[in-house]
Amino acid sequence: MLHNPNHLYIFDTTLRDGEQVPGSQLTTPEKIIIGEALQALGVDIIEAGFPISSPGDFQSVVELSKVVREPIICALTRANKGDIDCAAEALKYAKRPRIHTGIGSSDMHIKYKFNSTREAILERAAEAVKYAKQFVEDVEFYAEDAGRADNVYLAQMIEAVIAAGATVVNIPDTNGYCLPEQYGAKIRFLKENVKNIDQAIISVHCHNDLGLATANSLSGIQNGARQVECTINGIGERAGNTSLEEVVMALKTHYQTLGFQTNINTKQLYPLSTMVSRMMRMPVQANKAIVGRNAFAHSSGIHQDGVLKHRENYEIINPEDVGIDQSEIILTARSGRHALKHHLERLGYTIDRIDLDQTYQRFLALADEKKEIKDDDLLRLMGDEAETN
């Protein structure tokens, strides 16, 4: 497959792996709204669902394929004919269809999930890819639990599925087990030991059980992967998947070091995060990187003073770049005079005409009582001040 060597493919699986979260199921119209927003965001591939899992999921893949035409539309299957037939049928209106099939690759899965042998599983993997190739040109193979798989066996499996026609090979750290160095070394091992690896794109798919999904994905990219699988807000099974906004902003912030570009319109990241959070009933934690409520909020006096002198003292990303109007200076008992002055001026007060020290002492007394001082509180404080002066 020909591709720009600097392009990093963004494969969004919010509608499949993300939607597996209990209580987050979406209707077909909701999936279409999110699919259209993902298209506008600029993702390269949308994993639209797992068609065999339910009639509703099947229908969502059909309807999404009809209206979302720019990205590749992908459907998940297990490595069996029934699943693959169903996915091929669901994708029949897709302009650029991809079947994503696969099977377990760790001894744990081979023994306790499939009660099988390495040899039999390898054969099944290659057969599934060959079968899917009858329906679509673009077939992605996932080696489930590759994070815990033996590298030599994994390399044999990957070589066999590429020989069978896989265009993309996905190396999931299904259980979020690996350390970044281990995961990166696994990708490098495949790059160096799979003879036909240059005929396919290596994809990283990391889960966040140890909070390492983004770090592991970046490590995979630094070692040869050219597609990253991720979800908006990092939603997904258990502790979730790699967060799209984190990996995209890490690539952008460290472009000089990593050298990869994406087609993502980063200004859409925050609006899409809010939309997905609302529709999937999954609140975003306040300190979530990039899109959390506090991601661009400064609350301690030292940081507030620094950021008011120069934004970049405490911000490595311009909030406007991710669709957030501006950073926030939160007034609390940890704030200093500079932050108080900033907010008073914003509310129209002329600082030379008030005694800032005295106002600051009154502000601190109030802030010790309340957790956060809002505009109303400040206006009241200044009203009181006028009366006492």
Task: Select from 234, 165, 166 the least CA-distant residue to 205.
Answer: 234
Q: Does 241 show up as a binding residue in the annotation? A: yes
Least separation in angstroms between CB 284 and ligand KIV: 22
Nearer CB in complex with ligand KIV: 65/174: 174
Q: Which does 47 bind (CB under 5 to 8 A by kind): ligand KIV, Zn ion, none?
A: none
Q: Which residue is nearest to Zn ion (CB)?
A: 17
Least separation in angstroms between CB 124 and ligand KIV: 15
Nearer CB in complex with ligand KIV: 236/323: 236
Q: Which does 144 bind (CB under 5 to 8 A by kind): ligand KIV, Zn ion, none?
A: ligand KIV
SS3 assignment, position 330:
coil
**d(Cα 102, Cα 207) in Å, to the nearest integer?**
17
Q: Does 100 show up as a binding residue in the annotation? A: no
Least separation in angstroms between CB 143 and ligand KIV: 8
Footprint on this chain of ligand KIV (rule: CB under 6 A):
17, 142, 144, 170, 172, 174, 205, 207
Q: How far is CA 242 from CA 177, 233, 257, in A?
A: 13, 8, 20
Task: Select from 121, 90, 93 the least CA-distant residue to 106.
Answer: 121
Q: How far is CA 363 from CA 333, 375, 383, 389, in A?
A: 8, 12, 12, 15
Nearer CB in complex with ligand KIV: 31/205: 205
Task: Select from 85, 25, 96 the least CA-distant residue to 60.
Answer: 25
Query: What HEC string does 260-301 produce?
Result: CECCCCHHHHHHHHHHHHHHCCCCCCCCCCCCCCCCCEECCH
**Token digits for 223?**
């070692």
Least separation in angstroms between CB 17 and Zn ion: 4
Footprint on this chain of Zn ion (rule: CB under 5 A):
17
Nearer CB in complex with ligand KIV: 100/342: 100
Least separation in angstroms between CB 216 and ligand KIV: 12
Which residues carry a binding-site annotation for Mn(2+)? Answer: 17, 205, 207, 241
Which residues carry a binding-site annotation? Answer: 17, 205, 207, 241
